[in-house]
Amino acid sequence: MIGKAFRMRLREGGLEGYRRAHNPLPSALARALHDHGVIKFTIYHHEGTRDLFASVEIEDESRFAQLADLPVCREWWKQMTQYLECEKPGDAKAIEIPLREIFILGEA
């Protein structure tokens, strides 16, 4: 199992729309994530801020990277730009800042 994490930032007022879009996650997207080795994907909101923290457990880096080629993922990323900060207007994907693991307790 491989752990990855990243930070995103909500647009002002974007939390409820972002939450609704994920509950439930569209079945085609959930299936694509599962089919590409995603074991667990968790997103947390830092209360009082617009910061989101995402943690994902995957089976294989190359299978996970292939998600970027799927229309269902590209369409989802584009939809999420209405709720998340982007580099510039019209971007196809929101800003995701990778986080480096510095500590883990348990089996690796």
Phi (first) and psi of residue 48, to 5 degrees: 85, -5
Q: Which residues lie across from 38 on neighbouring strands?
A: 58
Q: Give the C-alpha separation, 82 to 21, whole Å.
A: 11
* Token pair for 24: 């439930």
Positions annotated as catalytic residues are 22
Contact 72, 32 (CB under 8 A): yes
For residue 98, count other CB atoms closer than 10 A to its CB.
8
